[in-house]
């Protein structure tokens, strides 16, 4: 299984946007409310970041044919 950058498509863009949204949400929440260790914002941020990472990897994976 190899990652092929040439397979960049809409799903990759959505995954990268999810990753960026998770990071920006955490930074915005921390600066806006002054709380960097809230379990609720961690839960939402982790979901967005993991969806972004896993989605990007899955959308760029090259399927091997045996």
Q: Is the pLDDT of residue 42 over 90?
A: yes
In the structure, what pLDDT confidence band is assigned to residue 38 with cuts at 50, 70 and 90? confident
Range of the domain at 38: 2-62
Q: What percent of the chain has pLDDT over 70?
A: 94
Helix axes 10-33, 39-60, angle to 10 degrees: 160
Q: How many CA within 13 A on the CB side of residue 2? A: 6
Q: Domains in the chain: how many in total?
A: 1
pLDDT of residue 19: 97
Segment 14-36, tens digit of pLDDT: 999 999 999 999 999 999 999 88
Helix (H) or strand (E) holding 62: strand 61-62
Instruction: Using pLDDT thresholds of 50, 70 and 90, give the confidence band for residue 6.
Output: confident
């Amino acid at each position: 299984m190899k990652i092929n950058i040439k397979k960049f498509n809409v799903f990759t863009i959505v995954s990268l946007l999810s990753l960026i949204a998770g990071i920006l949400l955490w930074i915005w929440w921390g600066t806006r409310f002054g709380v960097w260790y809230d379990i609720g914002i961690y839960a939402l941020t982790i979901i967005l970041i993991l969806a972004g990472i896993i989605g990007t990897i899955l959308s760029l994976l090259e399927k091997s044919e045996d």
